[in-house]
Amino acid sequence: MTRESLGEFEQLVLLAVVRLGDENVYGVPIADEIERRTGRSVSPAAVYVTLRRLEQKGMLSSTMSDPTPERGGKARRCVKLTEAGAESLRVSRQVLDRMWQGVDPRVRGQR
Amino acid sequence: MSNRAAGSRRRPPRLGQWLLRATLPSDVRQDTSGDLEEMFHRRMQRDGARRARAWYLQQSLSFAVRFSMERLRERWRHADIHTGFSWVDFKLAVRMLVRYPGLTLVGVIGMALGIAIATAAFTISNDVLDSTLPLEEGDRIVSIVNWDVATNNREQRTIHEFGAWREQLRSVQEVGAFRTVGRNLVLKGNQPQPVSVAEMTAAGFNVARVSPTAGRYLRPEDERAGAPDVVVIGHEVWRGKFGADPSILDRQIQLGDRLYSIVGVMPPGFGFPVNHSYWVPLRLDPAVFEPRSGPGMNVFGRLAPGATLDSAQTELSGVAQRMAAAFPRTHEHLRSVIVPYAYAFNDMDDPGNALVLRVTQTLIVMLLVIVCINVAILVYARTATRHAEITVRTALGATRRRIVAQLFLEALVLAGTAAVAGIAVVAGGLRQLHAAIVQLDGALPFWMEFKLSPQGVIYVVMLTVFSAAIVGVVPALKATGRRVQGSLQGFSAGGGSRMEMGRLWTTLIVAQVAFAVALLPATVFHAWNSLRPRSGDRGFATSEVLTARVFAEQPADDAAPARRLSDSSLTMLERTLENEGSVAAVTFSLENPGEELAAVLEAEGVPAPVERVDYNIVEGSRQGHLVRFNRVATDFFDAFQVPVLMGRGFRSADTMPASTSVLVNRTLVDRILSGANPLGRRLRYVGRSREAGQGNVELSRWYEIVGVVPDFPPGAAANAEMSGKVYHPVGSGGIYPAVLSIRVRGITPSSFADQLREIATAVDPALQLRQISTYQQAVEREKGVMRLIGFTLIGLTFSVVALSGAGIYALMSFTVARRRKEIGIRAALGADSSRILSSIFARALRQLGAGAGLGLLGAIAFERLLEGEMFQGHGAVILPIVAVIMCTVGLLAAWDPARRGLQIQLVEALREE
């Protein structure tokens, strides 16, 4: 299987999923987590489009919760990182690390 | 606020929910909208309901856009599998455009013109036929018209029926009426200015369902006799004439001899009933009018809920039958018809006219088909040169569908390029046309606008796909047929192209030469007619003459249909003008010289022509001579310095009602009286054209010729049958409206326009001067429209001839290439070049000859069908010329391939094989 490289936003979404743990991880907290950590505002639509794409690529799996009245009787889709997702994150990290190795400390921000 | 409204404000907006339902993929629709709803409630608690709803709407839009983009991206990624197209195919198609610039140029120009003309025809006929007014439920607004089936004329005097319709019809609501009257608008410190005022019942505003931007509109109580005089004005008038005065309401304006209080201002663009900007109450009581009497009116209404045009027509016919029983004398031939509102104003209440429009549109699309067939021939010839490529791709496993799809995409890119150019041409052309019509006729009705609409663009897209299907799919199917397998074997054994110009293409070439020969003569003839320099010389100095139509203002309560100009007013105006130092001559007539009206004439002792007159004759017979007539003042010819060639000119005694004296022009004497002495001969009208109007022609009355004048204006003589002219003498009060012609000296006519208005107002404030212009301006306006038509036809003609030439060239090149070996062997065996050439040309000549022959037969059939309208008697000259031109173009196109055929060397030909 050819491994697809991850875009920056895809990495952010996957990392947010990892950070939020195993329970009740869905679009709303993911968007909040990215906003909180990166300090930039995130379009919910971008998060949902990315979640769907990552699931289609096999990097996330999802389960549906029971419908609740406060959501207009609609179920919630909770996501979990798959092994393939974790592997892609690791590879992306390694690629970046290798690229950073030997880079002038002033560019790396180390004095 | 009610509980229900408050509850709905605490829910996400429906529009947003609908947007999400429509655009989210089904697998994530439920949970995603659930998450958004959750966020919405959170926001509502934090920011309040209003901001949360705005946020939700914004988010649903953002989701809609993002997921739609994602879906497109996915489709494009998988496009190759599902549709047979890929990005690479598209790049290849663009590369083909660049690689064959000749074909691209010819194909794009031809198709662009075809698409532009077809789209213009679509836009115009849609504008004319589209019955939906740009108003709320505009398709339910209707006109009710009376039609006299005996004279095939609209009966405009419907005030009596209006009362009955308003009371009795249930399937039409808000039945109202209006008439347009001319008034002089008098504003302090300004010249009186003629304006068109709608005298309309209050129902008109209810039908339109448009609220005023200030004040009120007319109410039924305004229609009562003795009610204060009120007027509603349009937004444009409010801005243009009153400087957008915020305290305009209750201000008084003078229209004609009365003061009106402004009670309302309508919004921008509002022009109901036609293109009006002033509305005053209609104060006519239908009960006081006898049937078929009173002023001309237009009656309108709105279909009741649940009613259709058919059900309304059934009810209307019932009312009409009762009226016919009550008034058999006046209503025997009268039919009441209910039509979409706009049809009563563009002659589409006559179903024949709508049919003619649709047929014309179809014929124009047929022209595009011819253009596409020509391009298809070129594309097929190009495809033939790529036969090896197609064969190899087939061998490598490409399916026939895949190759056809690729060739179709190439054609689509070609047609798409043409469509872009076509849109530019049609947008510019429609703008020109709109400007030309506005200049000729004043404003267009408020519902008409000649510009490229979204439907027009969809039509262009459809034409483009249609053109691409002809240009791409037909050659592709031919090129990938059963023979590909056979040619694969031939190709592997070292053989060349095995594609042939089969029977289909030969038939197409014959057909298109036939089409060109059948259609070109008419196009060339009409193009010439539009462009020939006729109006430059009207037989008098056009730059010295100022012309205006003189109307009499209708008094507000006058119920007379059309007031005759009072003798004294016009005579006094004429006298006053004659005393002006800068005026050389003044005269008046019913129509301008060169714009006389048509009628059918019979000359005593001269048998009527066998063929019936082919013209819009609405009363009497078509059996006779088609002539033009004018009613002119006795000093008309003196004023234009036209001499009397024979007999005498008009005298004042000739204007007496019992007088039968007429003058005729030279052409009438030559054509109808065969050049014999015309003095004392008698003439009478037997048929009246629609344009001539009822009061202007008295059928069956004998007139006596007392003199002959030259053809005036002389340019019109070229238009054979139209140039026989009869002039009737008339006194000042005899015609309405009158055309006033003033020849000036020492100044330019346009500088006299203001002075003319002042003099007219001083003579009689009720006199209205409209369409004041110099003859020169009238000529220029007419020229502009004719030039547009002429150049369009020339463009079309050029593209048909060029494409035919290119098609034949491609066919000949291909044939010669296929016969290289045979020609080489024949040359090697000593055949002389003339024999080789004749064998090459024989095929071209056969096809051209067959095409030209069929085309001539078609043209003759057309000519018969149109009863001589197409060539106007010049068919015997035009047809052979066009046939020869087409054959010459064909032979010239064949010359270069034939020349190359002669240079083929046997060894080279064999080595290539």
A64 touches chain B (CB under 8 A): yes
Name residues 60-79 of chain B within 8 A of A (Cβ): 62-63, 65-67, 70
Q: Which of A48, A53, A72 sits opposite B37 (nearest CB)?
A: A72
A75 touches chain B (CB under 8 A): yes
Nearest one of B581, B563, B625 to B599, comparing CA atoms: B625
pLDDT score at B870: 63
More confident residue, B538 or A79: A79
Dist. CA B76–CA B114, nearest whole Å? 32
Q: Is the peptide bond before B897 cis (omega within 30 degrees of 0)?
A: no
- Per-residue pLDDT tens over the stretch A22-47: 778 999 999 999 999 998 889 999 99
CB B707 within 8 A of CB B647: yes
pLDDT score at B3: 53
**DSSP 3-state percent helix, strand, coil across chain A (nearest 5):** 55, 10, 35
The average pLDDT across A5-10 equals 87
A76 touches chain B (CB under 8 A): yes
Name residues 15-34 of chain B within 8 A of A (Cβ): 25, 27-28, 30-34
pLDDT score at B85: 64
Does the beta-carbon distance from A26 to B32 stay under 8 Å?
Answer: no
Closest CA–CA distance from residue B12 to any residue of chain A (Å): 10
Residues 6+ apart with CB under 8 A from B60: B15, B16, B17, B19, B20, B36
Dist. CA B99–CA B91, nearest whole Å? 12
Q: What is the end-to-end Cα distance of chain B in Å, rounded? A: 91
Nearest residue on chain B to A77, judged by CA atoms? Answer: B31
Does the beta-carbon distance from A71 to B59 stay under 8 Å?
Answer: no
Residues 6+ apart with CB under 8 A from B860: B875, B879
B40 touches chain A (CB under 8 A): no
pLDDT score at B83: 54
A96 touches chain B (CB under 8 A): no
Domains of chain A from N-terminus onward = 8-66+75-101 (1.10.10.10)
CB B594 within 8 A of CB B672: no
CB B233 within 8 A of CB B196: no
Nearest residue on chain A to B73, judged by CA atoms? Answer: A53
pLDDT surpasses 70 at A62: yes
Nearest one of B672, B642, B674, B648 to B661, comparing CA atoms: B648
Q: Which of A43, A44, A77 sits opposite B31 (nearest CB)?
A: A77
Does the beta-carbon distance from A52 to B65 stay under 8 Å?
Answer: no
pLDDT score at B555: 54
Separation in Å, CA B321 to CA B142, B153, B155, B333: 20, 19, 16, 11
pTM above 0.80, yes or no: no
The average pLDDT across A10-15 equals 94
Q: Which of A43, A48, A67 sits opposite B32 (nearest CB)?
A: A48
Closest CA–CA distance from residue A99 to any residue of chain B (Å): 30
pLDDT score at B779: 67
Closest CA–CA distance from residue A75 to any residue of chain B (Å): 6
Closest CA–CA distance from residue A66 to any residue of chain B (Å): 11
pLDDT score at B562: 44
Nearest one of B434, B357, B347 to B125, comparing CA atoms: B357
H or E segment to which residue B153 belongs:
strand B153-155
pLDDT score at B848: 82
**What is the mean pLDDT, run by run of 10 residues, along chain B of 913 residues?**
58 87 86 89 86 90 86 67 65 86 84 87 81 84 87 79 90 92 80 85 91 91 90 92 89 87 92 91 84 85 91 91 86 86 78 73 77 79 78 80 86 92 90 78 79 85 88 81 54 45 71 76 70 55 79 56 58 85 88 86 88 79 88 88 89 88 91 89 90 80 92 58 81 75 83 82 78 74 69 72 71 70 77 79 81 84 68 71 77 75 67 56
Read off the pLDDT band of A17 (50, 70, 90). very high
Inter-chain contacts counted by CB atoms under 8 A, chains A and B: 62
pLDDT score at B909: 60
* β partners of residue B709: B665
How many distinct helices (H) and strands (E) make up chain B? 28, 23
What is the ipTM score, two decimals?
0.88
- Buried b or exposed e, range B639-661, using 16+ CB within 10 angstroms: bbebebebbebbeeebbeeebeb
